[in-house]
Amino acid sequence: MQQKRYFITAIGTDSGKTLISALLCEALQADYWKPIQAGNPTDLSTVKSLVSNPKTQFFPSTYALQKPASPHDSAQAEGLQIELSKIQIPQTENALIIEGAGGLLVPLNEKDFVIDMVDNWQDSNVEIILVANLYLGSINHTLLSIKELERRNLKVKGIIFNGNSNPESEQIIAKHCPFPILFHLPFLDKPNQSTVAFWAKAMQFLGE
């Protein structure tokens, strides 16, 4: 049986994809890969600093760009163009956590967006986890992201809320969301290996 592959995307740039990716790597002892990195310090280095299990392997980014900007902008600054065909899932016998860049419709080049990577991997059994934090305006951003995932008919594992709770926002999103609400991670101030290991235990159900 093929191991789980989860693509971690979000409703925005600072919604908590990297922290959720670290938690899932710890919970599932899964490998980690961020296909496109723009800026330093890298999310790869952050996840490495938070994961403590001995099994997780860390794969290098296909595109490791320096400018902290939208991938299409960052690539242009280096005289590059991101090509979907070059972004191939690493070979591993382990479960794999794949972290996206920004939200679904962050541009990679003049025609492709972040979510097009998953479209390009349709035969690879990749399921999407959407991370939503609960700021003013997040209902609209979350429901728009959900509508885009529905429109593309992609495999979606569910939604993870991240950060301080907002019950009214959570309930209205859940009411209009066809996907499961998987988990709510409370705000973690300066997460470290200990806090990641603690909360990872509560997320082990995702390996089922």
Give the 3-state secondary structure of residue 194: helix
Q: Which residues sit opposite 128 in a β-bridge?
A: 7, 156
Following DSSP, what letter does each residue of 37-101 receive, concatenated? Answer: EESSS-HHHHHHHH---SS--EEPPSEEESSSS-HHHHHHHTT----GGG--PPP-SS-EEEEEE
Sole residue written with tokens 């590059």: 80
Cα dihedral across residues 98, 101, 106, 110: positive or negative: negative
Instruction: From the candidates 4, 17, 34, 157, give the one annotated as an active-site residue.
Output: 34
Q: Is 34 tagged catalytic?
A: yes
Residue with tokens 């191991």: 3
| DSSP-assigned letters across all residues of 18-30 | HHHHHHHHHHHT-
The Cα 151–Cα 148 span in angstroms is: 5
Long-range contacts of residues 119-122, Cβ cutoff 8 Å, at least 24 apart: 119/152, 119/154, 120/84, 120/85, 120/87, 121/89
- Give me the amino acid identity at 104: L
Active site residues: 34
